[in-house]
Amino acid sequence: MIINGPNLNLLGNREQKIYGDKSLDEIEKISKQKSNSLNIDCFFCQSNDEGEIINHIHSVESSYDGLIINPAAFTHTSVALLDALRSINKPKIEIHLSNIYTREEYRKKSITSEGVDGLICGFGSLSYILAIEALSNLIYNK
């Protein structure tokens, strides 16, 4: 499962110098192509609603082999997402399009990363491809 957080539905139009010019639909397409090349089924979703994202995270334990999450702005604020991430025992990777450690001071702290196995940031849409490869390795090459 790949979960995308708030405002990522605006990719391609929103702050292109930071987030790039690819839309979320384009990122979904390349993510599914990469997943297919690794014989992985990929469920890709986006929500601006914290509760909906938490429900998706909860579903990972019973329905998916692993999770890739771009929590977007919730990265820096949501203990609720952290608790949800900690509640599942499947491989989990957090990703970001931009390098959060070169951004505003309040973006340099990822609360949610404390609940995942690894963090990939700063590679634009390639962050998704790298995460898919890493998650596949965590799941199938233990």
List of domains in the chain:
2-140 (3.40.50.9100)
Q: Is 96 a catalytic residue?
A: yes
More confident position, 141 or 127: 127
Catalytic option among 56, 64, 96, 128: 96
pLDDT-derived band at 21 (thresholds 50, 70, 90) equals: confident
- Tell me the per-residue pLDDT of 80-104, one tens digit each, with 9 for 90 and over: 999 999 999 999 999 999 888 877 8
Q: Is the pTM of this model over 0.85?
A: yes
Average pLDDT taken over every residue of the chain = 93
Q: Give the pLDDT mean for 37-65.
A: 96
What is the reported pLDDT for 106?
79
What is the reported pLDDT for 142?
63
Catalytic option among 19, 56, 64, 128: 19
What is the reported pLDDT for 26?
96
Q: Is 19 a catalytic residue?
A: yes
End-to-end Cα spacing for the chain: 19
Q: E strands of 5-125, at which residues?
A: 44-46, 67-70, 92-96, 118-121
